[in-house]
Amino acid sequence: MNQGKRAISIRILKTIKDVSEWVEEAHSQGLTVGFVPTMGALHSGHASLISAAGEDCDRVLVSVFVNPTQFNDAADFSGYPSTPDADLALVMEHGGAAVFMPDVQEMYGQTTQVNRVDYGRLTAGWEAADRPGHFDGVVAIVDRLFHAVRPDAAFFGEKDLQQLAVVKTLARRSHPNLRIVGCPLIRDVDGLALSSRNVRLSIEARDAALILPQTLFFIREAIAAGGDPLLVLDESRRNLDENPMIELAYLDLVHGEDFSAWTPGKSGPFYAIVTAKVGGVRLLDNLQVVP
């Protein structure tokens, strides 16, 4: 258990061979390994995953890899923030023992062509519909990482709720001994969901973006007060559509595990999920609004 302990040194691993050997070494000593995959530009949301992994497992390995195959927008990929030195400091600060920082060739070889993935509605709607090919790339990299690392448990944020459901499906099908742990979404003090992309928001856009969490909390309260969830959702959608700073992709109400639609009497948990571009920056948020 390394929770609360600041690491005094950290291993930086660049190749699949090195990361496999590092994990095998831990396993040969009877230690469990928790794995936190990231795309870097780490913030307190990532830190919470590293801490959760440290509470659960003996050693924590963090990967930092901006995965080209999950971007369907070249400008989003080329503008993705990169802060490797600060990332290493944050991982050490939260007790991580090693960081896997491979290059694209190490993970993909000569071609970044990836297979199509069909997990039903999970790979058809919402993020999948708005970012064609996105989950093909996510599954390709997460599957490669799971094969390379072979951890005991892997930690993902509920911030990317649909990604978490996709990864759980991948693990059930292809990595049955691996435990996937979902961790709560972490917000900034003003309510905005923490995201590596937030640094790209102008002051004006960041201000405007607060309407996303405000909308989710409004939906939760309105439903708790007896409002019809679908009417509440319609009203909130109209409100976002009217805002000139917000380019809404979707606002919906779905089951947190399988993304099936809400119907009266069906047991939850149900989440309001929202994605919008604010000042050109794509932001995601969600909140459990029905128990």
Query: Please, which residue, 139 or 183, has the CB nearer to ligand AMP?
Result: 183
Q: Which of 94, 134, 144, 159 binds ligand AMP (CB under 6 A)?
A: 159
Segment interacting with ligand AMP (CB under 6 A) among 72-80, 91-99, 155-163, 198-206: 155-163
143 is an interface residue for ligand AMP by CB under 6 A = no
157 is an interface residue for ligand AMP by CB under 6 A = yes
Question: Taking the complex as a whole, how short is the minimal distance between the CB of residue 289 and ligand AMP, in angstroms?
Answer: 18
186 is an interface residue for ligand AMP by CB under 6 A = yes
Tell me phi and psi for residue 110, to 5 degrees: -80, -25
Query: Please, which residue, 166 or 232, has the CB nearer to ligand AMP?
Result: 166
Q: Which of 101, 141, 185, 216 binds ligand AMP (CB under 6 A)?
A: 185
Burial of 116 (0-12, 13-18, 19+ CB in 10 A): exposed
Query: Please, which residue, 123 or 196, has the CB nearer to ligand AMP?
Result: 196
Within 28-67, the residues that bind ligand AMP by CB under 6 A are 38-39, 45-46, 48-49
Within 187-206, the residues that bind ligand AMP by CB under 6 A are 193-196
- Cβ atoms of 248 and 237 within 8 Å: the answer is yes
The active-site residue, picked from 46, 94, 134, 255, is 46
Query: Please, which residue, 114 or 185, has the CB nearer to ligand AMP?
Result: 185
Question: Taking the complex as a whole, how short is the minimal distance between the CB of residue 219 and ligand AMP, in angstroms?
Answer: 19
Place of tokens 């995965």: 67
Question: Taking the complex as a whole, how short is the minimal distance between the CB of residue 160 and ligand AMP, in angstroms?
Answer: 4
- Cβ atoms of 278 and 215 within 8 Å: the answer is no
Number of residues forming the site for ligand AMP (CB under 6 A): 17
Q: How far apart are CA 47 and CA 184, in angstroms?
A: 12
Burial of 163 (0-12, 13-18, 19+ CB in 10 A): buried
Tell me phi and psi for residue 64, to 5 degrees: -125, 110
Query: Please, which residue, 81 or 120, has the CB nearer to ligand AMP?
Result: 81
Instruction: Identify which of 200, 239, 145, 188 has the alpha carbon closest to the alpha carbon of residue 48.
Output: 188
- Indicate if 46 belongs to the active site: yes
H runs (alpha helix) in 175-274: 203-209, 211-224, 229-241
Which DSSP state fits 187? B
Q: How far apart are CA 205 and CA 197, in angstroms?
A: 12
Segment interacting with ligand AMP (CB under 6 A) among 13-21, 181-189, 208-216, 244-252: 181-189
State the first-to-last Cα distance of the chain, in angstroms, to the nearest integer.
32
Burial of 216 (0-12, 13-18, 19+ CB in 10 A): buried
123 is an interface residue for ligand AMP by CB under 6 A = no
156 is an interface residue for ligand AMP by CB under 6 A = yes
Active-site residues, by number, are: 46
Q: Which stretches of the chain bind ligand AMP, using CB under 6 A? A: 38-39, 45-46, 48-49, 156-157, 159-160, 183, 185-186, 193-196
